Amino acid sequence: MIPSTSSAFIALIKRDLMLSYRHRNELLNPLLFFVIVVTLFPLGTSPEKQLLQTMAPGVIWVAALLAAMLSLDSLFKSDYEDGTLEQMMLSHHSNAVLVLAKIISHWLVTGVPIILMAPLLGLFMFMPIEGIKTLMLTLLLGTPILSLVGAIGMGLTLGLNRGGMLLSLLVLPLYIPVLIFSANAVDASLAGMDIKGQLYFLGALLVLSITLAPIATATALKISVE
Amino acid sequence: MKLPAIVHKYSSPKNFYTMSGKMVPWFAWGFGLTLVFGLYYGFFIAPTDYQQGESYRIMFVHVPAAWMSMFIYMVMAVSGAVGLIWRIKTADLMASASAPIGAAFTFIALVTGSLWGKPMWGTYWVWDARLTSELILLFLYLGFIALQASIEDPRNAARAGAILAIVGVVNIPIIHYSVEWWSTLHQGATVSKMDKPSIHIDMLIPLLVMAVSFKLYYATSVLMRARGEILLREQNSRWVKEIVENEGKALVGGAK
């Protein structure tokens, strides 16, 4: 009997979560990177509270952006190297659905820790509680977009020798809208303003990227696998 | 959806090569004439701006270059998509031949924009919405070029580039409007003096002529690049060998 696509979807998520649990120390690296980058800013500028507070939303979000981009490396790489990815592409299930499953499980193990780590960094940067709440909310809406859009870039650069630098060149310009709306939402909430507009934009971007990014990624992967 | 056979017939590398060879001189002459006319009109006939003085005249290069930078990205994405869907080789070639030209126009728009900014804003660079989106567009072009350069197989490079260009086209309006929104939040109306509600007809004519001129330059240059690439890729086919032999003979004959 051929399993249905939805059961394949769930099985793939379970498998990927299990695999990342077995290699859980690898997951720490992007997270440490996130913390270290934010720590560099007070050292590079000044520990002055006023200055750090104004910079905080931008700095934390840029660091999250870079951490999310670096974590993409683990998205398809091992499956590509041992041939699993090729088998997935050959299966009769929709490739886009399988790709979405991989992105979701990847976000669960890389995006969610970033969200959970954010309050600590908010404290480092003297952010008030209200700002930290908004920061986590924007990260909750924003990091899945980063994973989805980044997956396209990863799919395109998968088979290349020096894909890492190229990936940043491809992906970072596409991250700009997320950065703008998120950092601005945190800024606005610190000023006590309404942030519904920014959150709606992020939500719209999320919906758009969930619908289109898996298709583009699946097409890109097909080229890389061939 | 199937394309009519005639499209495939005329888009075959050989036909494309012969047809484009006939078109290139026309485009090149058109470019030269419109360029001379447009620059002369823009620099000597168009009236001095009451607010910006003579410095506004850089607009006749800046604005068409900025238009071209976006136009070429669209061409790149559309021809990339055509190449991806219908597997038309020449469409792939057009996409990859367009990228460096588009990047160059984007660069020109940025440089002229910043030169224009010096007398207008007092600095060479401001984080103005349009300058910033041009800069991001330049990054998108450079990403496309870098991606194609790092994939060795030309067919895979073309397909990967096409996907990136399509993703870019979906993103460009989002990036553009988010940057616009960001910039209105962060600065006042310093930029709005650039927004003219209406433009003098003697300024509009050279502007449009220059836009046509740049389009013709693009057509000339993209076809020449694509023709060179076709010869390189089809070097083992008979018609290319014939061309090379004939032109070689003509050269030797001319030398005698």
* pLDDT score for A103: 95
Question: In B128-154, which positions are buried (b, 16+ CB within 10 angstroms) versus exposed (e)?
Answer: bbbbbbbbbbbbbbbbbbebbebbeeb
Q: Choose among B142, B151, B181: nearest Cβ to A169.
A: B142
Q: Are A53 and A127 a contacting pair, CB within 8 Å?
A: yes
Distance from C-alpha of B60 to C-alpha of B108, rounded to nearest angstrom: 12
Q: Is residue A114 part of a domain?
A: yes
Domain that holds residue A75: 28-225
Q: What is the mean pLDDT of chain A?
A: 91
Q: Is residue A1 part of a domain?
A: no
Classify residue A93 by its DSSP letter: S
Q: What is the 3-state secondary structure (H, E, C) of chain B?
A: CCCCHHHHHHHCHHHHHHHHHHHHHHHHHHHHHHHHHHHHHHHHHCCCECCCEHHHHHHHHHHHHHHHHHHHHHHHHHHHHHHHHHCCHHHHHHHHHHHHHHHHHHHHHHHHHHHHHHHHHCCCCCCCHHHHHHHHHHHHHHHHHHHHHHCCCHHHHHHHHHHHHHHHHHHHHHHHHHHHHHHHHHCCCCCHHHCCCCCCHHHHHHHHHHHHHHHHHHHHHHHHHHHHHHHHHCCCCHHHHHHHHHHHHHHHHHHC
Q: Does residue A85 register a pLDDT over 60?
A: yes
Q: Is residue A7 part of a domain?
A: no
Question: How far lies A26's CA from each of A13, A30, A106, A115, B246, in Å?
Answer: 18, 8, 12, 18, 62
Give which of B97, B101, B96, B79 is closest to B11, Cα–Cα: B79
Query: Could you give the 3-state DSSP secondary structure of residue A67?
Result: helix
* pLDDT score for B191: 43
Cβ separation of B166 and A216 shorter than 8 Å? yes
Give which of A113, A143, A116, A125 is closest to A190, Cα–Cα: A125
* pLDDT score for B197: 52
Copy the structure tokens of residue A110.
């890389």
Distance from C-alpha of A43 to C-alpha of A225, rounded to nearest angstrom: 44
Q: Is residue A6 part of a domain?
A: no
Distance from C-alpha of A204 to C-alpha of A210, rounded to nearest angstrom: 10
- Number of structural domains, chain A? 1
**CB of A152 less than 8 A from some CB of B:** yes
Q: Is residue A53 part of a domain?
A: yes
Q: Choose among B143, B160, B185: nearest Cβ to A173.
A: B143
Q: Please name the residue that has the structure tokens 């061409």.
A: B75
Distance from C-alpha of A129 to C-alpha of A117, rounded to nearest angstrom: 14
pLDDT tens digits for A20-67? 899 888 888 889 999 999 999 999 988 899 999 989 999 999 999 999
Per-residue model confidence as pLDDT tens for chain B (256 residues): 677 777 777 788 888 888 898 999 999 999 999 999 999 999 998 888 777 778 888 889 999 999 999 999 999 999 999 998 888 888 999 999 999 999 999 999 999 999 988 888 888 888 888 888 899 999 999 999 999 999 988 889 999 999 999 999 999 889 888 888 888 776 544 444 455 556 788 888 999 999 999 999 999 999 999 999 888 888 888 888 888 888 777 767 655 4
Tell me how many residue pairs between chain A and chain B have CB atoms under 8 A apart.
68
Q: Does residue A2 register a pLDDT over 80?
A: no
* pLDDT score for B187: 57
Higher pLDDT, B255 or A179: A179
Higher pLDDT, A12 or B6: A12
Q: Is residue A155 part of a domain?
A: yes
What values do phi and psi take at A128, rounded to 5? -70, 160
* pLDDT score for B180: 85
Looking at CA atoms only, how far is residue B16 from chain A in angstroms? 26
Residues pairing with B53 in the sheet:
B49
**CB of A177 less than 8 A from some CB of B:** yes
Cβ separation of A176 and B146 shorter than 8 Å? no
Burial class (CB in 10 A: 0-12, 13-18, 19+), A133: middle
* pLDDT score for B163: 94
Q: Are A125 and A52 a contacting pair, CB within 8 Å?
A: yes
Range A176-181 average pLDDT: 93
Distance from C-alpha of B171 to C-alpha of A174, rounded to nearest angstrom: 7
Q: Is residue A190 part of a domain?
A: yes
Q: Is residue A82 part of a domain?
A: yes
